[in-house]
């Protein structure tokens, strides 16, 4: 096939039990991109990310990773293939230490073998985590906790990283820091699918973007173009 996308969703219908949330979502992410997924609360952004990792009920449609359908694989197998997520609300292992959280992130066989080396990389990205290595994760500040959630996801050596509102609940300065990190990760070769409330910031660092409303993609295109779109400006940028 001429152009195999790194990750591709085709007519995805998914939800929770009987409760259908996604109504035919088509989207894709190519290697090396930052792709933003934005939209109002309850649109189905988190559900989209969870569906990519097999954490929801998929009714129909297909999800392909590097050209291969992954819909039959359990979550941990998808992680082994190189997909992982920084979950909404961070989802840290609260009474484990920072170091143990990071180690847990390297659980797959491949990542475990490289864990020392990856750890050094993560500590270089987040020097604060190194200082707090032996602190209990539940006692970290909001910003530190988010760094740990990102660092932990990186420990699995993902080829594509799904990030669900990494800036949620953080002080403005830390929010900027998080966006810097996202850019830096892409520069180091990690492909990123980013769900964000800070629409303007995320479009500024993204290559392409999708806008989701009520479980459907309602707008898509290069991020720069979407930033200029009157429709989007009115709805999300309050301009």
Ligand X SMILES: Nc1ncnc2c1ncn2[C@@H]1O[C@H](COP(=O)(O)OP(=O)(O)OP(=O)(O)O)[C@@H](O)[C@H]1O
Distance CA 147, CA 175 (A): 11
User: How many CB atoms sit inside 10 A of residue 184's CB?
Assistant: 11
**Rounded least distance, CB 162 to Mg ion, Å:** 12
Task: Please count the residues of this chain forming the interface with Mg ion, following the rule CB under 5 A.
Answer: 2
Write out 21-78 in H/E/C secondary structure.
EEEEEEEEECCCCEEEEECCCCCCHHHHHHHHCCCCEEEEEEEEECCEECCCCCHHHH
Distance CA 175, CA 134 (A): 25
- Report if residue 140 touches ligand X, rule: CB under 6 A: no
Instruction: State the binding string over 30-69 for Mg ion (x if CB under 5 A, else -).
Output: ----------------x-----------------------
List binders of ligand X among 7-46 (CB under 6 A). Answer: 16, 19, 21, 39, 41-46
With respect to ligand X, which residue has the nearer C-beta, 95 or 214? 214
Q: What is the DSSP letter of 189?
A: T
Instruction: State the binding string over 99-128 for other proteins (x if CB under 8 A, else -).
Output: -xx-xxxxxx--xx----------------
Binding stretches for ligand X (CB under 6 A): 16, 19, 21, 39, 41-47, 88
Sites of contact with Mg ion (CB under 5 A): 46, 88
């Amino acid at each position: 096939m001429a152009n195999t996308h790194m990750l591709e969703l085709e007519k995805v219908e998914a939800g929770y039990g009987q409760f259908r949330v996604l109504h035919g979502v088509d989207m894709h992410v190519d290697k090396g991109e930052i792709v933003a997924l934005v939209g109002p609360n309850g649109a189905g952004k988190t559900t989209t990310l969870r569906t990519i990792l097999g954490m929801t009920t998929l009714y129909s449609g297909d999800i392909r990773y590097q050209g291969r359908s992954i819909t039959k694989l359990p979550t941990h197998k998808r992680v082994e293939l190189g997909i992982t997520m920084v979950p909404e609300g961070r989802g840290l292992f609260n009474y484990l230490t920072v170091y143990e959280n990071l180690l847990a992130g390297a659980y797959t066989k491949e990542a475990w073998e490289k864990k020392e080396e990856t750890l050094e990389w993560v500590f270089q990205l987040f020097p604060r985590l190194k200082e707090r290595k032996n602190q209990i994760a539940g006692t970290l500040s909001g910003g530190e906790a988010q760094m740990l959630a990102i660092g932990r996801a990186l420990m699995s050596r993902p080829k594509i990283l799904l990030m669900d509102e990494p800036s949620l609940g953080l002080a403005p300065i830390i929010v900027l820091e998080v966006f810097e990190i996202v850019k830096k990760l892409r520069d180091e070769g990690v492909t990123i699918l980013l769900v964000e409330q800070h629409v303007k910031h995320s479009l500024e660092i993204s290559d392409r973007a999708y806008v989701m409303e009520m479980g459907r993609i309602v707008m898509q295109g290069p991020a720069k173009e979407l930033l200029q779109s009157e429709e989007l400006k009115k709805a999300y940028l309050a301009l």
